[in-house]
Structure 1
Amino acid sequence: MNERRSRNTARPGLSFVRRAFWPRAIGLGVGFLAVAGVLWGLDAPVWLWCLLVLYCGVWPPLAYFIAVRSRVPYAAEQRHVLFDSLAGGFWIATIQFNVLPTVMMLAMLAMNNTAAGGLRFIGLGALLQLAGMGLSILVFGFGFAPETTPQQLYACIPMLVVHPLTIGLVLYKLAIQLGKHKKALRELSRIDSLTRLYNRGYWKECLVGEFEHYRETCQPASLALIDVDHFKITNDRHGHITGDNVLSAVGERVRRNLRSGDLAGRYGGDEFCIVLPDADPLQAREILERLRDEVAGLRFEEVPELRISLSIGVAGFDPRMANATAWLQEADRALYQAKRAGRDRIVLSTELDEEGALEPGSASA
């Protein structure tokens, strides 16, 4: 599967070719009726009817087959769109410029050319349409019968209805796809690729919003800062690959143990951060103790002897805090105390004595 994906990446335009197939197939299918409605009254030779059937019925799958097997599918499809302009000009002159089908074909070709290459392709398409008209005039001579009979009008109705509907559906699907891609890119810009938690920048933005919300509603909430104990030693002793595995595993355990409304992020390096709504510090401790127990049970095949522990500082929301930074600093001071007291423990900011409260923090630096 990866090999096939790499081949698709090396051959740009496959999605463009796939999007172009159905509008071409359906457009030529209903276009056959419009052209045939005029040819029927012109006593056209059998070979011309065969040519029309081949172009409208065989050309769409053939063009798709050629494009998807081309080294550059996008360029191949652009050439096919220009060929459609040449063929369209040929059929316009062949039906002696009958007004209604002529106008519809010109509009259809203009849409296709615009979608394939913008204004430049509109100009190229117009030149090729003129060339196609010239080819028809060389074969059949010049004819001009612009009047559209009621029968020919009826034959054009499917093209008037079906082709715009097909284009609309293609554009709708494209808009949905672009929306999904935009959402995915937005999520990627917010997510830390290693831990699958929010990255520091986006988490801090969310923290400010959460702080303002709690200040307005006076709801209880807690903020936790988490440090992986002795992570630098793990990195130095076992290598950065093992270190990445540790952070990834901790991130997975964080996601697994949090409630749906909790807001978790990677604060930086080996530090994690969590906002726990509707949880006072004692309730937050219970949730985080489960997380500590799970992380303590982690084992790594490449380093069986490795044991992981967490130091955690927790600060409850206080409406008297000046801003979100002050809340973060409270959790940071509690984390510093947890590390100073021997690590592998949870400390609440309410448990800090005056001496601990004056110690400089580490996570807010």
Structure 2
Amino acid sequence: MKKIAHLNVITKYFYPVTAGIETNILETYSKLVNLGWSVTVHTTEKSFNEKKLLEKTATVRGIKIIRYSPFAFAFNLPLSRHTGLLCLHNFNIFPHSLFLLRAFIKGRFHGKSNGIFLTPHGGYNPEWPTFSPPARLLKQIYHLTLGKFLVNHTVDAVRAISLWEKKELEVSGINKSKIVLIQNGLDPVAKLDHRSLASYKVKKIVAGLGSYIIAIGRISPVKNYETVLKALAQTKDLNLALVGPTENSAYYQSLVELTNKLGIKSRVVFLGVVRGSDKYYLLEHSLALVHLARWESFCNVVYEAMSLGKLCITADNTALRSLIHNGRTGLRVRTFDSAGLAKHLRNLGRKESLKVQDKIHQNLLSQKYQSWDQTAYLMHQVYGKIINKYV
């Protein structure tokens, strides 16, 4: 490992974008830097719906960042001569297929000289209905044919971030011997004293919100915020703080229009990106975190809220079932069941429901939570084994 201790990380978006994949990469690879690895992230110069392009190069927490145009990122990344381990994140057709094809051809004729590690983050088994019909058809064909073949014949290991994803990968035909389960970790900021660290601005927002629930995640159809809004409309004297970057402008606009239609515009606050202690201060002072996403391969924000002992009401699907056990570590409802969610929301704080909520709170505080340091160390061990094969 000492001879080739370099990691080339491929991801479409990276910091300052802070959705699930980007947070995962930032937290784990910054810690891998501390463990002696040299890390370069190759990404695009774009962020969610921002017209201003990001700087071509940067360094964040010891991670070197090189940004490319979307076209160059997809079709012309200059990595053919780079040494070290290639770390592919998500499962995009481009540029991932080009790296895998190159590795397969090189392996057939010259022997593969670099290791490849794939972390799909659920991207191999996505929520297909959220794709347009043409994109869905193309990706499904690719995943079932060439994509599966290339993963099984060129990738050294595939990281599943949840037990749900591991099972889905196995059912999809990915070689079981290649799959390693390393779940996401907990933000160390979660355990700080947010009352003293949160900004005056956020404290003022919280004071003005009154009784509120919180939803955190990128503004994207897969997050299913329309169901949360419909449920909120069936309650009284309850507000919603919605935190997260806007990935889909049209969807954001549809949510704004829905708040008008439902007559709850004054009860919904879109706060955009909120980080660090400000985010946790908002979480701590909410009545509950509501997360009715249509699909999750893990869900960092639910894991973070759980560590605070915060009641989480989530959709009954995918990896959320592994985190939230109904009535023990949180509450679950059917994904699009606004009436079922509204019933839980109306019960928040009621005397007859406090016993269940207190039980959930105590169960959450008694659990052990994996840190990002622990996650990164498990990756360090796997990466070391792979890269030693090519030294």
Fold agreement, TM-score > 0.5:
no
Q: Whose strand proportion is higher, 1 or 2? A: 2
Q: Which has the higher Rg, Structure 1 or Structure 2?
A: 1
Q: TM-score, normalised by structure 1?
A: 0.20
Q: TM-score, normalised by structure 2?
A: 0.19
Q: Which has the bigger relative contact order, CA under 8 A and spacing at least 6?
A: 2
